[in-house]
Amino acid sequence: MFEHALKAGRYEARLAKCRELNAAGGDVRYGVGLAAVVETSGSGPFESAKVVLTSEGRIVLAAGATSLGQGLPTTLAQVCAEVIQVPPGDIAVHLGDTRWMPQGVGSSASRSAVMAGAAVHQATTRLREQIVALAATRFEASPADITLEDGAAYVRGVPDRRCSLREIAALAGGPLEVEYRHETTHAIGSFGVHLSVVGVDVTTGEVRPETHFVLCDVGRAINPTIVEGQLVGAVIQGLGHATMEELVYDSSGQLLSGTFMDYAMPTAARVPSVELLVHEAPARSNPLGVKGAGESGTSGVGAAVANAVADAVGAAAARHLPVTAPRVKAALS
């Protein structure tokens, strides 16, 4: 996997290009930095999910994990949809709401897709079994011959023997509800590689990230676009932490960088190209094979940027993160 990252991240070619640019002289020196990372995800002790077939035939999904903008309602709806074959957009999702899900943990430490995903998968699988059993009785068929498709149960190969989920709820005499608690004592480890290319202006000390490549093992991507979005966002946040963001205090304890004028964050104009290689080596500890993807895009950024700065202008400039311009300039003089 490391070799794969070197190849996909074009390590040798980029190193050669930096050497060539540096040989030509100029105020900007270029460097390449590597970092190998281990991340953990999917920590315990548990997460809960509940899936309901309402008497109107709707699917309602609840979990203890919370939606913070990371795309979790969609991700969990996809897991539920896969099992019960209802379009994801037709599933109502309630996250981190104690009125819907009285027991749970929440979203931290790259755990939601792993823990809540597994809980949703197990709860929905059990609900599916109940639906299939009701349809099998209704059609006097074997449960093995019942299939779910587009919000209804069918006898396989006999499309007119169809029973909507609303009719299933009526057969059940009311709503069906399954709650499942997915427990674990083991977090999941995953490997990743970061490769950063930076230019360092030796007259100002400014570090400009040129490219940041990440190879990340996510186990299995439930929604590849969401995973990529998480990774790109994580890299950019990491670049902010590596090159500009800092809470600076004076000697009396006053916070000097307490506004967006002073606490510099990466804006679109400062963001380099981010290259991703998403590796999927399924985890064995959960039914979906998922590993967390929330943090591995951040964890190696400071390391790879610092190594690239050291490659460009020497180790003295790479002792302190973030590698801000004044700090790098001071190290070079």
Partner 1 sequence: MKFIGASIKRLEDPRLLAGGGRYVDDLAPPGTVHAVVVRSPHAHAHVRRVDARRALGQPGVLTCLTAADLVGVPKIPLRQPGKPAHAAYLQPPLAGDTVRYVGQPIAVVVATDRVAAVDARELVEIEYDVLPARIDLDDAGPLLFPEGNVADSWTTTLGDVDATLRDAACIVRERFYVGRQTAAPMETRGLLAEWEAHTGRLTVWGMTKVPYFNRRTLAAMLALDETKIDFAESDVGGGFGARGEFYPEDFLIPYLARRLDRPVKWIEDRREHFLAINHSREQQWSVVAAADERGRLLALDATLVNVMGGYLRTHGVWAAALTASYLPGPYQWPSYRCRVSCVMTSKTPAGTVRAPGFYEGTFVRERIVDLLAARAGLDPAEMRRRNLARPDDQPTRSARSPPRSPGAPPTSPARTSARCSSTR
Per CB under 8 A, which of residues 151..180 are in contact with partner 1? none
> For partner 1, which residue of 152, 241, 272, 274 counts as binding (CB under 8 A)?
241
Rounded to whole angstroms, how far apart are CA atoms 105 and 71? 18
Residue 254 interacting with partner 1 (CB under 8 A): yes
On whether the CB atoms of residues 327 and 312 are closer than 8 A, the answer is no
> For partner 1, which residue of 18, 28, 37, 293 counts as binding (CB under 8 A)?
37
Nearest alpha-carbon partner for 210 in 193, 197, 222, 225: 197
Pairing assessment for the beta strands 273-279 and 207-217 based on DSSP bridges: parallel
Residue 187 interacting with partner 1 (CB under 8 A): yes
Among positions 270-289, residues that touch partner 1 (CB under 8 A) are 279, 281, 283-285, 288
Residue 106 interacting with partner 1 (CB under 8 A): yes
Q: Which tokens belong to 251? A: 């000697």
Give every CB contact of residue 156 below 8 A, 6+ residues apart in sequence: 145, 146, 147
Please state the closest distance from residue 97 (CB atom) to partner 1, in A. 4
Considering only the stretches 22-30, 103-111, 131-139, 202-210, report the one whose residues sit in contact with partner 1 under the rule CB under 8 A.
103-111
What is the pattern of x (binds partner 1, CB under 8 A) and - over residues 109-148? ----------------------------------------
Nearest alpha-carbon partner for 295 in 142, 166, 167, 112: 112
> For partner 1, which residue of 25, 185, 268, 333 counts as binding (CB under 8 A)?
185
Distance of CA 46 to the CA centre of its chain: 19
Nearest alpha-carbon partner for 180 in 115, 130, 131: 115
Backbone angles phi, psi at 48, to 5 degrees: -110, 150
**Site of tokens 């949703």:** 120
Q: Which is nearer to partner 1, 67 or 122 (CB)?
A: 67
Give the 3-state secondary structure of residue 232: helix
Q: Which is nearer to partner 1, 103 or 142 (CB)?
A: 103
> For partner 1, which residue of 197, 222, 236, 274 counts as binding (CB under 8 A)?
222
> For partner 1, which residue of 14, 18, 29, 33 counts as binding (CB under 8 A)?
33
Q: Which tokens belong to 220? A: 């299995």
Considering only the stretches 60-68, 136-144, 162-170, 204-212, report the one whose residues sit in contact with partner 1 under the rule CB under 8 A.
60-68
For the chain, give the number of residues.
333
Nearest alpha-carbon partner for 210 in 243, 245, 248: 243
Residue 4 interacting with partner 1 (CB under 8 A): yes
Considering only the stretches 21-29, 39-47, 50-58, 136-144, report the one whose residues sit in contact with partner 1 under the rule CB under 8 A.
39-47
Considering only the stretches 127-135, 206-214, 266-274, 290-298, report the one whose residues sit in contact with partner 1 under the rule CB under 8 A.
290-298
On whether the CB atoms of residues 240 and 272 are closer than 8 A, the answer is no
Rounded to whole angstroms, how far apart are CA atoms 114 and 20? 45
Please state the closest distance from residue 156 (CB atom) to partner 1, in A. 16
> For partner 1, which residue of 18, 217, 312, 317 counts as binding (CB under 8 A)?
217
Residue 234 interacting with partner 1 (CB under 8 A): yes
Residue 267 interacting with partner 1 (CB under 8 A): no
Is residue 322 reached through a cis peptide bond, with omega within 30 degrees of 0 on the bond before it? yes
> For partner 1, which residue of 21, 36, 172, 232 counts as binding (CB under 8 A)?
36
Give every CB contact of residue 123 below 8 A, 6+ residues apart in sequence: 49, 50, 51, 178, 179, 180
> For partner 1, which residue of 28, 81, 134, 293 counts as binding (CB under 8 A)?
81
